[in-house]
Amino acid sequence: MKTLYQKSCLKLSDFTYEEIFYLMKLSKFLKKNKHNKKEKKYIKGKNIALIFEKQSTRTRCAFEVAAYDQGAHTTYIGPNDTHIGYKESIEDSAKVLGTMYDGIQYRGYNDTILENLKKYSKIPIWNGLTDKFHPTQILADLFTIIETFPEKPLKKIHCAYVGDAQNNIANSLIEAANIINFKLNIVSPESYWPKKNFLNKKYSLYNKRKNIIYTDKIIEGVKNVDLIYTDVWVSLGESDDMWKKRIEELYPYQVNKKMLNISNNPNIKILHCLPALHNKKSLIGLQLHNKFKFNNGLEITDDIFNSNINLSFRQSENRLHTIKALLVSCLSEEKIF
Ligand code: CP
Ligand code: NVA
């Protein structure tokens, strides 16, 4: 297979099935080399701009550490640090960055900004989360699933996504299920089912293979699945005023003991991209627990979050290895496999 040299990743469907599996193989190779302290630097001297218009822990750290491990340099550009979009258009800023950098990670609101960064900078652009998509998260999730189920090909996996199914994680997961053909149940009230037309024209919400189903019934959605994936009920950039309505409508879809019993799978695993509101130990967690009289988590209960069926910290670590694979394959001409 060709390398992904000079490719951008605005959404997961920018990659083919073969390219995603190439990234999985490269992630495994790079993870092993890092753990064995035998990492070769494939992108020495490259410069990467990291534009963040929203907060981040995992994505920012994974891009920075991946770049440093591989001999590249990063510049962090926070929401209030530059003229981008305020005093200078995206077009002009992209032209400037394109003369100095080899690639740009962008986290923000609108996908049009990604398109314009790509068009005017003429260097690879990677989406580190927008309102619509979070492709680098899903790469880490797919890698985590492969590691967790070594005997089961990814195509044979059956995953349920419960909660807010109109957000970036649900959209990117639906893209993944379209490309890879694993079974995906979207489980939420009908008003939270994904909006039409966000997918690449090649794919659809209701594809012919029928590997993706949408249901508001927990029993239909989680029975006999291998994994249950959940995410916060109010995403970055959404108003805090949304919490009341979201809690009222999504509380029945909380990942808790009852839902696990309904799954009827004693080996079930849980995915969460994090951050998770599972206890009162964060400021927002404390405020929401107190305001809405919760005592054991919002989208996931604290007991389930802290149990060994929760893969979320492995997903977090794998952000590093999969983002590193993305950087290496897009910025290095060397053919590793
Ligand atoms: N999962 C994820 O993208 O985390 P951050 O918001 O911390 O980057
Ligand atoms: N849907 C969440 C994902 C966080 C990684 C958000 O956009 O805030």
Quote the pLDDT of residue 240: 96
Q: Pick the ligand that lies closest to the CA of residue 168.
A: 2
Mean pLDDT of 72-85: 91
Name beta bridge partners: 125.
104
The CATH number of the structural domain formed by 12-133+318-331 is: 3.40.50.1370
- Of the pLDDT bands very low, low, confident and very high (cuts 50, 70, 90), residue 41 is very high
Higher pLDDT, 258 or 83: 258
The rounded Å distance from CA 209 to ligand 1 centre is 32
Burial code of 192-209, b = ≥16 C-beta within 10 A, e = fewer? Answer: bbbeeebbeeebebeeee
Please write the tens of the pLDDT for every residue from 120-165.
Answer: 999 999 999 999 999 999 999 999 999 999 999 999 999 999 999 9
Say if pTM beats, i.e. exceeds, 0.75: yes
The fourth-level CATH superfamily of domain 153-225+227-264+269-308 is Aspartate/ornithine carbamoyltransferase (3.40.50.1370)
If you compute the radius of gyration of the chain from its CA atoms, what whole number of angstroms results? Answer: 20
Give me the pLDDT at residue 2, please: 64
What distance in Å separates the CA atoms of residue 248 and residue 243, rounded to the nearest whole number?
8
How many angstroms separate the alpha carbon of residue 56 from the centre of ligand 1?
5
pLDDT, tens digit, 9 for 90 and up, residues 293-330: 999 999 999 999 999 999 999 999 999 999 999 999 99
* Tokens read off for 229: 């994936």
**Which among 167, 234, 318 is the best mutation to test ligand 2's pocket, defined by most ligand atoms within 8 Å of the CB?**
167
Q: Would the CATH topology of 12-133+318-331 be identical to that of 153-225+227-264+269-308?
A: yes
- Tell me, using a 6 A CB cutoff, whether residue 61 lines ligand 1: no
Measured from the alpha carbon of residue 322, the closest ligand is: 1
- Confidence class of residue 1 from pLDDT cuts 50, 70 and 90? low
Whether the CB of 313 sits within 6 Å of ligand 1: no
Give the residue among 43, 22, 59 at the shortest CA–CA distance from 124: 43
Tell whether ligand 1 has an atom less than 6 A from the beta carbon of residue 129.
Answer: yes
Once rounded to an integer, what is the mean pLDDT over residues 208-234? 95
Length of the chain: 337
How does the average pLDDT of the chain come out, rounded? 95
pLDDT at 80 over 90: no
Query: Average pLDDT for residues 215-242, to the nearest whole number?
Result: 98
- Ligand 1 centroid vs 208 CA: distance in angstroms? 33
Give the tens place of pLDDT for each residue, 242-286: 999 999 999 999 999 999 999 999 999 999 999 999 999 999 999
Mean pLDDT of 75-89: 89
What pLDDT is recorded for position 206? Answer: 75
Residue located nearest, by CA, to atom 7 of ligand 1: 57
Query: pLDDT at residue 199 above 80?
Result: no
CA distance 155 to 42: 31
Give the start-to-end residue ranges of the domains of the chain: 12-133+318-331, 153-225+227-264+269-308
252 preceded by cis ω (within 30°)?
Answer: no
Atom of ligand 2 nearest to the CA of 129: 7
